[in-house]
Each structure stands twice: as C-alpha cells, then as structure tokens.
Amino acid sequence: MGVWYVFRKTLGKPQFWFGFTMIVPLLIWYWIFSFGPIIQAFRMSTVAYKLLDPTNSPFVGLGNFLKIAQHPLFWVSVKNTLVWAVYSFVFHLPLAMLIAVLLSKVRRGRNTYQALIFIPVVVSLVAVSLLFKMIMDPEVGQLNKLFSTVGLPELQWLSSSSSALPTAVVIATWKGLGFFVVILTAGIINIPSELYDAALVDGTNEWQQFWRITLPLMAHTILLITVLLAIGSLQEFTLPTVLFGSEGGPGNSLFLYNMLIYQEAFLDIRFGTATAASLLQFAFILAISILQIKLIRPSWSY
Amino acid sequence: MAVIGRAEPARRRLPRRIMISQGLIHAFLLAMVVVAIFPFIWMIFASLKPFKELVESRALLPETWTLQNYEEILGRVNFFAAFRNSIVSAVSVTVVSVYTSSVMGYIFSKYRFVGKELLFTIVLSTMMVPFAVIMVPLYITIANSFGLADNLAGIIVTGFYTAFGIFLMRQFMESIPFELIDAARIDGASEWRIFFTLVLPMSMSPMSALAVFVYLVNWDSFLWPLIVLNSQDNQTLPLVLAGLRNLWWTRYEMWAAGSMLTVVPVMAIYSFASRYFIRGVAMTGMKG
C-alpha cells in the first residue's frame, strides 16, 4: 500500500489528467523561453561570449561588469535614464491625478471624456514619435509656427541637447497619461461616498477632502502607478530610438540604458557585456521596487 | 415609472455654485481632449498636403488636396504585409495567452497538488526580470535552437504564456465557489467540460480585460520584433513605420501618410470598442 496506493489513486482522478496535460506544456514553455534564458543570462555574463563556438567561451568572472562600467557612454546612459524616470514621475502623476479627480466630479459625459483622453494610449508609439518629431521640428514644425503666432519664443524642442530629454518625456506623458487617468479614476469612483458625505457634514472643503480622503485611500493605486512608471522609465527604449535612431539624439542626451544594452548586444555583438549590463539593471529595478513598497506602504487603513 | 425611478437631481434646480464649478471642470477636460486629439487632426491634413505646402504654410487645412503621398508610400513600402504580420502576431499571442492564463488561473486557484505555491511563485517572479536580461539568450534560443530568426513565429511563441495573465485570472477564479465545480462533478461532467462550459463563461469579463491589455502591449511591441525580424516583408507595423525615418529623411508628408495608414485601422476598432479598452485597463489596475 502506501505510496503506490496514493499514486494509483491520483492517476485515477480525472482532475489529475486535466491538470497534468495543462501544467506540462506550461513547464516546458517556461523552461525554454523564461527560466532557461534567465539562467543562461547569468552564465553568459561571466564569459567572453564566442558567437561561433559558444561552449568554449573563456570564463572572465566579473570582467564583463568592469568592462561595461568603462564603456564611454555607460554613465551618460545611467544619468539620462534616471533623469528620464524623475521627469516621467513629475509629469505623469500630478496631471493624471488632477484629471482623474475632475472626471470623478463631472456629472455628465465622463465616459466620453475618458474615451477621448485614452486615444493616444491605443495608437502606436512609433506613430506618436514620428508625429511629434514633425510637429516639434524647430524650423518647419507646427508648434513653433503656433508659438510665433501668439508671440512666444520659438524653442529648439528635440533638437538641442538641453531640451531634448524633457521634451521626449513630454511626448511619453502625452502618450501614456490616459492609461493612468483610467486607473486612477476607477479607484476614486470606488471610494465609498459616505466618507465624503461625512466630511461634508463636518464642514470640510474640497481641498481638505482631497488631501484627507482621496489621496490616502488612493495610496495603493498611486504606489502601483509609481512602480509601473519607474519600471517602465528605466526600460524605455522605443521612443528615443524612433526619434533619433540608436545614437541617442543631440549630444547623446537621449541615450538611455536600454539603448546601451541593445547597442552592446546587437550592434557591437558583445553578448557577455550586454548581459552583464542587463543584470545591473535587474538588480537596480529589484532594489527600488522593494524600497518603494517598503517606503510608501501605509501603516494604517480605514 | 417616474415614481419608482432613481431620484436624479433635476438639472434645472442645480445651485449656481455647482453649475459654475461644473462649467470649469468641463472647460478643463475639454482642453485636455483637444490636447489629446489635435495632433491626430493635424496629421490627417498633413498627410494630404504636398511637401512644399506642409513646410511653408501655417494653415491647418491644405490648399492643394492630394493623395500623392499615399500613392508614393504604398508603391515603396509593403504596408499590407506589415499590417498582416502585426495582426497575425498580436491576435495569435492574445488568443493563446488569454486561453493559457485562464487554464492556469483555474488550476492554480481550484486544484491542490504538491509544489503548487512554489510553482506559482516561480512563474510570478519572472515578471520581475526586465526583458533586457533575457533578450540575448532568448534570441539565441529562437535563432539557433528553433531556426526562427527573421520569422514571425519567433515573436509569437515567446508570448504564449504571461505571468501577469496567470496572476490576474487566478485572482478572479478564487471568487468562483468550489461548490459549483463539485456540483458539476457530481453530475458527471468531465474536467474539460467543467472548464469550458462552466468556468470560462463565468470569466468572460476578466478575460476580455486581459485580452485588451495583452493586445495593446503586443500591437505596440518594438524591441523584440526589432531583434528577431530583419527583412521588411516579415516586419510588423511599428518596425516598418520606424523605417520611414530612414527611407524619407525629413519628408514629413510621407511620415504623416504612413502614420495615418497605421493609426486609422486602430482608431476604427477603438471607436466602437473603447468601452472594453477602458474597462480592461481599469480592471488590471485594480487587481494589480
């Protein structure tokens, strides 16, 4: 009896066969396309990868990590990426919050407004990049024509090394805002209206209601958005690449970390250093995710 | 009917203060809507202008209306192939991964087996790994082990399972009562039948939300297709569109025409399915 009996009994169950036939493909797939490559990445980061004879790649220990840190654009890309993340947070969150609060207060047409503000989210990011590159062209672009018509100074937008990065984040915000507006609006609408009624009875104004009710109750959603924004910003690739190609804009001012990894891996074909660079990114993202969750987690609840 | 209807505040009797504040809110939201859609309107007209006019004129509407740009671009670039590739890859990834997420969500929430929580944690932890970490080994796997370099299948098979989808569906399936499934078992329904005729129909709402989410991500996917697909006939829309930059350096009317060709079909779908898109995003936000 014992083990054999349990084994036979399990095999006889219809649940077993259903579960078995579903889990086995999952395991195989994850092994080939997910766990396998992750383990490979760790191995690859410690060797000087030979493209034609991978099994005989010489072991270099932490050499790849030292090498990537000495890449002439390593610190430039790190700095640019961190600045991008900060801008992204500052541009997205307050504006998305303001729109969401107003959407929750509006009496008619909320769904229509939401649907229209959401449009840039569904449109391809590549089309958006091209669109804004046209509009923001300093010589022939429509934006500078508009500015000169109303008497504002014409700006360089994406064409100067000092304004290219913030301008690109403005484009990213324009494209992504609707996504966060929808998440925030759904959260605000779900706050029980009794809380606001009680606050009204206590004689609070809308400003106080926002700071004392809406914001604290939205802490979890805001945290989620912050993490999503941070992780997204640190991996930004498409927008700067489409705007300027892999070289990263005027004076490398839009050369981001993921572009460095891409360049190492697929333009310079140095798989070892590229993977080492990506593992540094992994460690960093992991650290800030944990830090953010520890820092902002509210220690109380209603 | 009017007697039992929900008590709506009669609009005529709104206090003056509320009317003013509502008016201000509408004004602000309308401004945001203009900011969100005006660039597209500009693009529509830009694609219908000749190059000289686009560069020189300040007017929104073209003086000379022309379809020349579209003719030229469709003659040089195979947009139909790109469109087909995009649809084939985004739709197949969406269909397969929504199905696998539902099955795995069901099994992880309703089945008991050794190592279940461990397996779930491992699957979920892959979400934390940035794509850049696996892109090189994954490319080597796709290209060398499967021979799928420059093949659309290379960007499809990698999307068959999503850890996020499995997590989302498990969250939802937890709310399906065990009693319901046991009752079906007692009635003699097979596990397959229970899943397909009982569990799946109950899960339509999170499934459609997930489908929208997966579709949006894959339709817009850029980095992985850029690595895998090289020849223009195999590329998806984002890649072909990005290629216009090199093909027609600063010929903005061509960019506009190309962008229009990719934006219009998406807008057509969005115009009647926007509800599902927004509900999908709202739901993923709340579960995450």
Kindly report, residue by residue over A166-195, the tens digit of the pLDDT: 999 999 999 999 999 999 999 999 899 899
Specify if B139 maps to a domain: yes
Cβ contact B223–A258 (<8 Å): yes
B33-56 CB burial, b ≥16 within 10 A, e <16 = beebeebbebbeebbbbbbebbbe
C-alpha distances in angstroms, A253 versus A73, A89, A244, A256? 11, 19, 10, 8
CB contact A21 to B (< 8 Å) = no
Q: How far apart are CA A231 and CA A225, in angstroms?
A: 10
Q: What is the mean pLDDT of residues B110-119?
A: 90
Residue of B274, B229, B219 lying closest to B37 (CA atoms): B274
CB contact B171 to A (< 8 Å) = no
What is the DSSP annotation of chain A?
-THHHHHHHHHH-HHHHHHHHHHHHHHHHHIIIIIHHHHHHHHHTTB---SS-GGGPPB-TTHHHHHHHTSTTHHHHHHHHHHHHHHHHHHHHHHHHHHHHHHHH-SS-HHHHHHHHTHHHHS-HHHHHHHHHHHT-TTT-HHHHHHHHTTPPP--GGGSTTTHHHHHHHHHHHHHHHHHHHHHHHHHHTS-HHHHHHHHHTT--HHHHIIIIIHHHTHHHHHHHHHHHHHHHHT--HHHHHHHGGG-SGGGTT--HHHHHHIIIIIS--HHHHHHHHHHHHHHHHHHHHHHHHHH--S---
C-alpha distances in angstroms, B184 versus A12, A133, A233, B178, B205? 18, 59, 48, 10, 22
Cβ contact B134–A41 (<8 Å): yes
Amino acid identity at A126: V
Q: How far apart are CA B104 and CA B162, in angstroms?
A: 10
Q: How many other C-beta atoms can be found within 10 angstroms of the C-beta atom of residue A218? A: 22
Specify if B210 maps to a domain: yes
Look over chain B and give the mean of its residue pLDDT values, rounded to a whole number: 87
Q: Is the pLDDT score of A77 beyond 90?
A: yes
Task: Read off the pLDDT band of A299 (50, 70, 90).
Answer: low
Q: How far apart are CA B6 and CA A191, in angstroms?
A: 21
B210-263 pLDDT, tens digit each? 898 898 889 889 999 999 999 989 999 999 999 888 877 778 888 889 999 888
Token pair of B167 as six digits = 């997590």
Q: Is the pLDDT score of B288 beyond 70?
A: no
Specify if B165 maps to a domain: yes
CB-CB neighbors (< 8 A) of B160 in chain A? 29, 33
CB-CB neighbors (< 8 A) of B96 in chain A? none
B245-248 — which CB contacts under 8 Å span 24+ positions? B245/A130, B245/A242, B245/A245, B246/A245, B247/B76, B247/B77
More confident residue, A294 or A267: A267
Residue located via tokens 């696996």: B134
Q: How far apart are CA B48 and CA A284, in angstroms?
A: 47
Query: Domain span at residue B152?
Result: 84-230
* pLDDT at site B129: 92
A132-163 pLDDT, tens digit each? 998 898 888 888 888 888 888 888 888 888 88
Angle formed at CA B78 by CA B159 and CA B252, multiple of 5 degrees = 100
Residue of B55, B174, B19, B236 lying closest to A145 (CA atoms): B55
CB-CB neighbors (< 8 A) of B285 in chain A? 182-183, 186-187, 221, 224
* pLDDT at site A41: 94
**What ipTM did this prediction achieve?**
0.88
Of B43-52, B140-149, B243-252, highest mean pLDDT: B140-149
Q: Which of B36, B190, B245 sits opposite A119 (nearest CB)?
A: B36
CB-CB neighbors (< 8 A) of B184 in chain A? none
Specify if B266 maps to a domain: no
Chain A residues 131-170 with CB within 8 Å of chain B = 131-135, 137, 140, 142, 145, 149
Q: How far apart are CA A27 and CA A33, in angstroms?
A: 10
Q: Is the pLDDT score of B37 beyond 60?
A: yes
Residue of A7, A16, A106, A61 lying closest to A272 (CA atoms): A61
Q: Is the pLDDT score of B116 beyond 60?
A: yes
Chain B's closest residue to A144, CA to CA, is B58
More confident residue, A152 or B165: B165
pLDDT above 70 as % of chain A = 97
Q: Give the contacts of A268 (CB within 8 A, at least 6 positions apart).
A: none
Computed on alpha carbons and rounded to an integer, the radius of gyration of chain A in Å comes to: 25
CB-CB neighbors (< 8 A) of A289 in chain B? 128
A94-120 pLDDT, tens digit each? 999 999 999 999 988 999 999 999 999
Cβ contact A186–B282 (<8 Å): yes
B134 CB burial (10 A radius; 0-12, 13-18, 19+) = buried
Specify if B186 maps to a domain: yes
* pLDDT at site B277: 84
CB contact A121 to B (< 8 Å) = yes
Chain A's closest residue to B36, CA to CA, is A117
CATH code: domain A67-296 is 1.10.3720.10
Amino acid identity at A263: Q
Q: Give the contacts of A289 (CB within 8 A, at least 6 positions apart).
A: A227, A230, A231, B128
CB contact A233 to B (< 8 Å) = no
Residue of B255, B260, B231 lying closest to B244 (CA atoms): B255
Structural domains in chain B (count):
1
CATH number of the domain to which B171 belongs: 1.10.3720.10
What's the longest Cα–Cα distance across chain B? 77
Domain spans of chain A, in order of start: 3-64, 67-296
Residue of A37, A265, A120 lying closest to B220 (CA atoms): A120
Q: Is the pLDDT score of A266 beyond 80?
A: yes
C-alpha distances in angstroms, A209 versus A8, A184, A188, A213, A215? 63, 16, 12, 5, 9
CB contact B266 to A (< 8 Å) = yes
Amino acid identity at B159: G
Q: How far apart are CA A282 and CA A261, in angstroms?
A: 12
Q: What is the mean pLDDT of residues B112-129?
A: 90
Computed on alpha carbons and rounded to an integer, the radius of gyration of chain B in Å comes to: 25
Q: Is the dihedral of CA B155, B158, B160, B165 positive or negative?
A: negative
Distance (Å) from the C-alpha of residue A72 to the closest C-alpha of chain B? 20
Specify if B74 maps to a domain: no
Q: How far apart are CA A38 and CA A40, in angstroms?
A: 5
CB contact A273 to B (< 8 Å) = no
